Amino acid sequence: MTLLALTGGIASGKSTISRMLAEKGAVVVDADAIVRDVQAPGSPVLAAIAREFGADVVAPDGTLDRPALGSRVFGHPERLAALNALVHPAVREESQRRFRAALSADPDAVVVYDVPLLAESRGTGEWDLVVVAHAPAQQRVQRLIAQRGLTEAEARARIAAQAGDDERLALADVVIDTTGDLDATRRQVDELWERLATS
């Protein structure tokens, strides 16, 4: 099994790359989806978040009120660190379980761990390859405004809450530059897949 970590800052094009790799047959384990799973209504993680940040971060239907929680942690590094300390261990445990399941199903699988916060969580060093989706911060700000409806200040706060580009790029075995169009990104993904096939 090949275990590949795919990371990148918010709005860097990481999800697009992940989708392209899945189309080629990779098994994608999505860290964001795992985060949602471990924070599901009634989960121990959600209960711990409510204790730490206040019961009003849980919506009336029992789900996590993400905007309410986000307003308390973005721009507040110590609060964000407290949230990560509650969430990351559960995410790590579940991701390991999914890696083992993929290996069990197909010993030759290419497993892509789509993980936005690899640099922040420091990872576990188990990766055969670390791929970083990269676009300059200003372009990512524009994408967040255009695609997600954030204000410029909100977009910059989200970017500032994550590791810096230099820190992320220092982890990279492969950098996929997403500043161009989708075809340019796809060509780089094709090259990566070819590299994986011949390794």
Query: In angstroms, what CA-CA distances link 8 with 15, 153, 199?
Result: 9, 20, 24
- 21 pLDDT higher than 80: yes
Residue 74: pLDDT band with limits 50, 70, 90: confident
Mean pLDDT of the region 89-113 = 94
User: 107, 128, 155: which is the final residue of a domain?
Assistant: 107
**Helix, strand or coil for residue 125?**
coil
pLDDT at 121: 65
Model's pTM, two decimal places?
A: 0.86
Alpha carbon distances (Å) from 190 to 28, 83, 197: 16, 37, 10
Distance (Å, whole) CA 191 – CA 57: 44
Residue 116's pLDDT is what? 85
Residue 44 has pLDDT above 60, yes or no: yes
Picking from 82, 42, 93, the residue whose alpha carbon sits closest to that of residue 64 is 42
Do residues 72 and 122 share a domain?
no
Choose one of 107, 122, 157: the last residue of a domain. Answer: 107
What is the number of domains present in the chain? 2
Residues 97 and 135 in one domain: no
11 is in an annotated binding site: yes
Residues 22 and 115 in one domain: yes
Region 125-139: mean pLDDT is: 92
Among 69, 86, 107, the domain-final residue is 107
66 and 121 within one domain: no
Asked if residue 75 belongs to a known ligand binding site, the reply is no
**For the domain that residue 67 is a member of, what is the CATH number?**
3.40.50.300
The answer to whether the annotation marks 13 as part of a ligand binding site is yes
Does the pLDDT value for residue 53 go beyond 60? yes
Backbone angles phi, psi at 43, to 5 degrees: -80, 155
Q: Is 14 annotated as a binding residue?
A: yes
Is 8 annotated in some ligand binding site? no
Residue 164: give the domain boundaries: 1-26+109-198
Mean pLDDT over residues 73-99, rounded? Answer: 91
